[in-house]
Amino acid sequence: MPLYFHDALLPPGEWGLWSITESEHELRGHVHLSTAEQHQLLLIKGAERRREFLAARLLLHRMSGRSTRAELVKDSDGKPHLPDSDFFVSISHTVGYSAAVAHPRPCGIDVQRIVPRIRRLAPKFVGETEWSQLTETDELVQLHLIWAAKEAMYKAYGRRQLDFRRDLVVDLVDRTGRLLGEQPMEFTLAFREYEMFVVVAAVRRSLPR
């Protein structure tokens, strides 16, 4: 099976990436879905998105090391969790890849394919501090790292109603992130850069009170 990587992340945390080469039928043979998950899968239009759904759950199960797979449940804000685990989890997928992270502290992950059109979207999510970090030679990849980092922090935060440009700040050099506002949070960021895509994980730096 095409496990792209599975590594420790701020131990005892873990993160991983799955290269999706299997058919939907092959993936279903490896993932025992709960009744609720089967219903969710039926509602997904498009074979590629269904493969991503299955691959993310298979990756998370492989990372757990368990013999029996646990159901992945989402709360009212769409944040996933495993009912019988003390670990926080997060998943992400793009065309051909699914990613997952698990950690005792709130965490999030995002995988993004590198596409030039992100430059047109950048003013909507890049703040003044982040613009100053961009370099001419690496700008395209850096924009994707900023976007993926903010997606990962947003998932770790676990609630809706965030302005990516105003409320979230990324430091590409220190690989840290901040959530501003009345309930500020700090995150440690982990980057993986590849030719066609980037993967970013965010782990909260202190436990919620």
Q: DSSP labels for 86-102?
A: SSEEEEEEETTEEEEEE
The more confidently predicted of residues 149 and 209 is 149
Q: Are residues 145 and 182 in the same domain?
A: yes
The pLDDT value recorded for residue 1 is: 54
Q: How many domains does the chain have?
A: 2
Q: Are residues 116 and 98 in the same domain?
A: no
pLDDT band at residue 207, thresholds of 50, 70 and 90?
low
Contact (Cβ atoms closer than 8 angstroms) between residue 26 and residue 42:
no
Q: Taking 80 as the threshold, does the pLDDT of residue 160 lie above it? A: no
For residue 69, the Cα-to-chain-centroid distance in whole angstroms is 20
Q: Where does a domain end: 51, 79, 105?
A: 105
Containing structural domain, residue 20: 3-105
Asked whether residue 205 is assigned to any structural domain, the reply reads no
Q: What percent of the chain has pLDDT over 90?
A: 83
Q: Are residues 125 and 147 in the same domain?
A: yes
Q: Where does a domain end: 59, 81, 105?
A: 105
pLDDT band at residue 183, thresholds of 50, 70 and 90?
confident
The pair of three-digit structure tokens given for residue 152, joined into one six-digit string:
């990962």
**203: how many CB neighbours lie within 10 A of its CB?**
26
- 86 SS3 class: coil
Contact (Cβ atoms closer than 8 angstroms) between residue 75 and residue 64:
no
Asked whether residue 204 is assigned to any structural domain, the reply reads no
Q: Are residues 88 and 53 in the same domain?
A: yes
The pTM for the full model equals 0.94
Using CA atoms, how far apart are residues 177 and 174, in angstroms rounded to an integer? 9
Asked whether residue 72 is assigned to any structural domain, the reply reads yes
Q: What is the pLDDT of residues 136-156, one digit of tens each?
A: 999 999 999 999 999 999 999
Q: What is the pLDDT of residues 54-86, one digit of tens each?
A: 999 999 999 988 888 989 998 877 789 898 889
Asked whether residue 209 is assigned to any structural domain, the reply reads no
Q: Are residues 158 and 100 in the same domain?
A: no
The pair of three-digit structure tokens given for residue 44, joined into one six-digit string:
């997904």
